[in-house]
Amino acid sequence: MRPSSLRAAVLALALASPAVASVIDLSLLPSTEQIISGVDELLHPHHDVLGVEHTYDTKTSSYRKVCTLKALGNEQDDADNLVKAVEECGNGGVLRLPDANYTIGKALQLELHDAYVDLHGWLSFTTDTEYWIKNRIPFEFQKQSLGFVIRGTDYVLDGNDKGGINGNGQVWYNLAKDAGNFYGRPMSLAIVDSKNVIVKNWSVVQPQFWASITINSENVLIKDFYVNATSFDPASKVDEKNWLQNTDGLDTYRSHNVTVENMVYQGGDDCIALKPNSTMINIRNVTCFGGTGIAFGSIAQYEGVLDIIEDVVMDDIQLYPSSQCPGYQGVYFKSWVGESSGTPPNGGGGGFGYCRNVTVKNVYMEDILHPIAVDTDLIYTLGEKGKQTDNGKFEWYDIHLSNFTGQAAWNRIAWMDCSKTRPCHDWTFDAIEIKPGKTDHPEISYVCNNFVLGGNDGLNLCHPSNSTLETDNGGTL
């Protein structure tokens, strides 16, 4: 507000008194709303944070609206201004965010069409956990929560190798330690109900929960993507897994034709997880440090519900432990028990369906506890693990693993526990040359339970076993 505007507002308040009202035309003075707005602007100036211009786009031979949004700074909430920028330029325009940091203090649902988000810094979520829990965006699967949702068509999110999302997750790691699927933890980035999307040069650091998820979407390319979940609390040195659980890197759910290229993950849970009804998924050049590796599932959690995973190709995968978290699994197939017990997110079971037409090739791993694993008795409800076995209704077949090299942490290389109800079949192993890290129990290096073996499947070393050696890995298997 300019000084002259302020003087006008003060003068208006003075002239509004009965003593002068009879000699002044009050209709010429600012309204009460204008006065309040002017005083608010004086106390909380925004300095024209949103600039709008038009530039010529040579690709489309037309002019595009360009919105440049400046951050308010000093940890002031930029969420409302980001919404305004999307309203102004989110349909056919360009959103430029040039500053190093933008504070996000509200759960957001944005819509983009034929739009380009040009981000050069961080969208940093506030640490008010009470607010985020109360204002969660519900996600029906496992009663989960979202914090930042983007819907739309034909849009690009470009982090320019300079930023992306900072979830400020330490407050959540402290709050939720030892509590799997803690209620209300928001996912950092959700691509929802979208088509023809590119996310590139983008990072998610300190995610509050799952770093990213693609939901009900198709034709999505995620490339040059980085995720890092690290606990800086000294107390977490005792057991980083229980502090960093549920910090998945990239998940898919009810989505078709999703491609991931050039991804690096460090955390304490699934590097990549294909949730129910993930189809035509292509993964290339992914490196994972710590956590539970590449996961197919979990799946078949909801009783009587058909789930599928199919048409998947993964190529060029590297898996290592991190300085904070062991590498629990390498490539991992997990489905729920056959009869429902408890309720989601940690209970469930009784779903059915199949995973088929899967190729995973050119995988290197070091010091992974369970390099190749199948678990069809999945349940996380306390006290229920192990009460149901061999009764899963989900079918794993037409799955092909080739050129796996490196070294396991222990004796186990392949630990495949399939269901008697739905035995695993039509799997092939080709050039599986992972060396055991220990050789004191070679009899458990290749275990295949309820597995249809024979022919040229490459599983001649695999055999049934009920050994419980090397089963303690933080509760995952």
Longest dimension (CA), the chain: 105
Q: For the chain, first and last CA: distance in Å?
A: 63
Of 269, 270, 375, 417, which residue is the catalytic one? Answer: 269
ω into residue 27 within 30 of 0, thus cis? no
340 neighbors 349 (Cβ within 8 angstroms): yes
- Distance in angstroms (rounded) separating the CA atoms of residues 313 and 299: 18
The one-letter code for the residue type at 62 is S
The one-letter code for the residue type at 152 is G
Q: For the beta carbon of residue 173, count every other beta carbon within 10 angstroms.
A: 27
Instruction: Give the distance, in angstroms, between the CA of residue 58 and the centroid of all CA atoms in the same chain.
Output: 35
Q: Regarding beta strands 50-57 and 250-253, do their DSSP bridges make them parallel or antiparallel, or are they unpaired?
A: unpaired
Q: For the beta carbon of residue 454, count every other beta carbon within 10 angstroms.
A: 9
- The DSSP H or E segment spanning 471 is none
Structure tokens at 84: 């305004």
DSSP per position, 28-44 = GSPPHHHHHHHHHHHHS
Say whether 269 is catalytic. yes
- Distance in angstroms (rounded) separating the CA atoms of residues 130 and 134: 6
DSSP per position, 329-397 = EEEEEEEE-SS-BS-TTT-B---EEEEEEEEEEEEEEEEEEEEEEEEEEE--STTTTTTS-S--EEEEE
**Phi, psi (5° rounding) for residue 83?**
-60, -45
Known catalytic residues are: 269
